[in-house]
């Protein structure tokens, strides 16, 4: 069966520090991968998605970036965090054979102080 893991689960970082959140999917190949953020009052905001290695689509202008160095690995990064980057970050995957549902990881809480 397919599983998705993201880490770290909780992170407290000072303003201006770098960020790296990692997501890995197991039990499938060539999935679509997604990063979402849930901030207060804004629902689930799509940040990045990827349909293949090295292919990244960015949805929101910001100081975050994403990379997909391997087929089942998706990384969310920042060189310098802002207070407004605080939120609950969610990784998700889609089976490209079905392409009608995405499945989420457990989420990562980021607090920028």
Partner 1 sequence: DQQVKQNSPSLSVQEGRISILNCDYTNSMFDYFLWYKKYPAEGPTFLISISSIKDKNEDGRFTVFLNKSAKHLSLHIVPSQPGDSAVYFCAALMNRDDKIIFGKGTRLHILP
Residues that bind partner 1 (CB under 8 A): 32, 34, 36, 41-46, 49, 51, 57, 59, 88, 90, 92, 94, 96, 99-107, 109
The smaller minimum CB distance to partner 1, of residues 16 and 23, is found at 23
Cα–Cα distance, 30 to 51 (Å, whole number): 8
Pick the closer one to partner 1 by CB: 80 or 84.
84
DSSP string, 8-77: -SEEEE-TT--EEEEEEEES-SS-EEEEEEE-TTS-EEEEEEEEETTEEEE-S-SSEEEEEEETTEEEEE
Joined tokens for residue 80: 């310098």
Residue whose CB is less far from partner 1, 79 or 96: 96
Least distance (Å) from partner 1 to the CB of residue 64?
Answer: 17
Least distance CB 16 / partner 1 (angstroms): 26
Using the minimum distance from each CB to partner 1, give the nearer residue, 5 or 80: 5
Minimum Å gap between C-beta 106 and partner 1 is 5
């Amino acid at each position: 069966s397919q599983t998705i893991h993201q880490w770290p689960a909780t992170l407290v970082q000072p303003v201006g520090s770098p960020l790296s959140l990692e997501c890995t999917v197991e039990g499938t190949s060539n999935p679509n991968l997604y990063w979402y953020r849930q901030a207060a009052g804004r629902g689930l905001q799509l940040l990045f998605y990827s349909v293949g290695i090295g292919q990244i689509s960015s949805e929101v202008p910001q100081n975050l970036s994403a990379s997909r160095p391997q087929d089942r690995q998706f990384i969310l990064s920042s060189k310098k965090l802002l207070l407004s980057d605080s939120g609950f970050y969610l990784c998700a995957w889609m089976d490209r054979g079905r392409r009608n549902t995405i499945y989420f990881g457990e989420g990562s809480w980021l607090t920028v102080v």
